[in-house]
Amino acid sequence: MTADLSTLCQSCGACCATSADWPRFSLESDEALALIPEALIDDSQGKMRCEGDRCAALSGKVGAATACSIYALRPDVCRACQPGDPECNIARARHGFAEITPSGLAAP
């Protein structure tokens, strides 16, 4: 069975709950960073604020149903992570989830 890309990430969330060192800001402009709510930014580290290994912008239960509370404003590194790419599968493995393979993805 293949997974629908439009819902795959919302049923996982592993990438947003894997490391307190990620996501770091790298390519964002000052204007883009200014749009992210201050309470979600860890200024001392140049990244999103985390609670343990979980991004503070992530809501829901990892592996069941998740959402990014600032999805439209999320950092570039978050936009770059795609279902089944190496970063995605590393995060999934850390949570004990099966790897996503190209054959397991459905076109939108």
Q: What is the pLDDT of residues 13-60, one digit of tens each?
A: 999 999 998 888 999 999 999 999 999 999 888 999 999 999 999 999
Per the document, the length of the chain is 108
Predicted confidence at residue 104, as pLDDT, reads: 62
Q: Is the pLDDT of residue 70 over 80?
A: yes
Quickly state the pLDDT bin for 102 (edges 50, 70, 90): confident
Which two three-digit tokens encode residue 105? 């993805």
CB 23 within 8 A of CB 48: yes
CB 12 within 8 A of CB 37: no
Q: Is the pLDDT of residue 98 over 60?
A: yes
Which two three-digit tokens encode residue 15? 């990438």
Q: Is the pLDDT of residue 73 over 60?
A: yes
DSSP string, 61-72: ETTTEEEETTGG
